[in-house]
Amino acid sequence: MPKYSVIIPVYNRPQEIDELLHSLTRVHYKDFEVIVIEDGSTLSAESVCIQYQHQLHLRYQFQENTGPGPARNKGAELATGEYFLFFDSDCLIPPAYFNYVDSHLNKVDCFGGPDKAHASFNTIQKAISYSMTSTLTTGGIRGGEKKLDTFYPRSFNMGIKKDVFRSLGGFERLRFGEDLDFSMRILEAGYSTKLINEAAVFHKRRNNFRSFFKQVFNSGIARINLQYRHPGSLKLVHAIPAMFTLGYAIYILIGFFVPILLPLTLLPWLIFFIDAAIQTKSIRVAMSASVAAMVQIVGYGSGFLTAIFKRMIFKRKEFTAYEKNFYN
């Protein structure tokens, strides 16, 4: 029985699975199995998985499309390891990843690590990576030493004891926010979570700015949906992007009547540019990163505000947006 079961849901991303599995062949640690759940794809990854079965203890399973949460649950049903490790299909695993994890498992029920950009990533991928990991844009909530909220492991890089996973019934069938919902249920049940800062993965997001907006818009909606599932989980830090978005829009409107104020609308872009230039050491990436950061904050804030109106004011039921064309 392996110590770790690596569980990867995939939907129409055979090239991503190829790169992820290749990275797993290069890790230093070997006591793990890999389970790939093909979630109703029309672009099959089966032939890719077959190519790696002589290098990895790998099992491929196709199922009808159910969404990422149930796909991970299916992988967990097939898993035999003591710990389950969940990765997104667009991640690359550094060679020392398992060694870092293995040295931090004492008295921890669920753990996770941050994500970062690899040197080989293109400019947009690096820009979005900056936006998704910077303290200026997320408050460090996604993982890192500086954070403004409790650490909730995310499913792109999450590990959990098998017994804990099964005691909680796994992931709910949610299109967005299913990993946060699961992390909240873990903590509410009295189990512990731990950030292993060294156990980062390279998250090779294939977004453009349009699809990135759709993603973060749904993340803003999901935060309000989660408040109804987990009362008290909504914190002031989660509302900051919405407050910025609303204030920024009002300021621009005022600027049309008082044109002297309009140049100040560039200040947030400049702050993100300077910070990204320092972090990435690239002017080109910093230029795109300032755009990505504004897209993230305004997209998340817009989704958050939309959900407040629909759910809290008009008392609508749980909802999401852009589901059918999310990856276009």
Angle at 102 between CA 33 and CA 189, to 5 degrees: 90
% of residues, the chain, pLDDT over 90: 88
Distance of CA 260 to the CA centre of its chain: 40
Q: Which pLDDT tens digit goes with each residue over 234-278?
A: 999 899 999 999 999 999 999 999 999 999 999 999 999 999 999
The closest of 178, 199, 170, 189 to 104, measured between CA atoms, is 199
Structure tokens at 121: 């990533």
pLDDT for 281: 96
**Is a pLDDT exceeding 60 seen at residue 222?**
yes
Find the mean pLDDT for residues 134-152: 66
Residue 9: strand, helix, or coil: strand
Separation in Å, CA 284 to CA 53, 135, 280, 289:
40, 20, 9, 9
Q: Is there a contact between 79 and 33 (Cβ–Cβ < 8 Å)?
A: yes
Q: What is the mean pLDDT of residues 150-154?
A: 88
Measured between alpha carbons, how far is 297 from 216 in angstroms, rounded to an integer? 8
- Looking at residue 320, its pLDDT comes to 87
Average pLDDT over residues 286-298: 98
| pLDDT tier at 150, thresholds 50, 70, 90 | confident
Confidence (pLDDT) at 143: 46
Please, what are the domains in the chain?
Answer: 4-113+153-206 (3.90.550.10), 211-313 (no CATH)
- Is a pLDDT exceeding 80 seen at residue 146? no
Q: What is the DSSP string of 155-204?
A: TTEEEEEHHHHHHHTS--S-SSSHHHHHHHHHHHTT--EEE-TT--EEE-
pLDDT score for 328:
47
CB atoms within 10 A of CB 48: 21
Is the distance from CB of 193 to CB of 109 less than 8 angstroms? yes
Q: With cut-offs at 50, 70 and 90, classify the pLDDT of residue 319.
A: confident
Task: Using pLDDT thresholds of 50, 70 and 90, give the confidence band for residue 324.
Answer: low
User: Tens of pLDDT along 30-65?
Assistant: 999 999 999 999 999 999 999 999 999 999 999 999
What are 205-220's pLDDT values in tens digits? 878 999 999 999 999 9
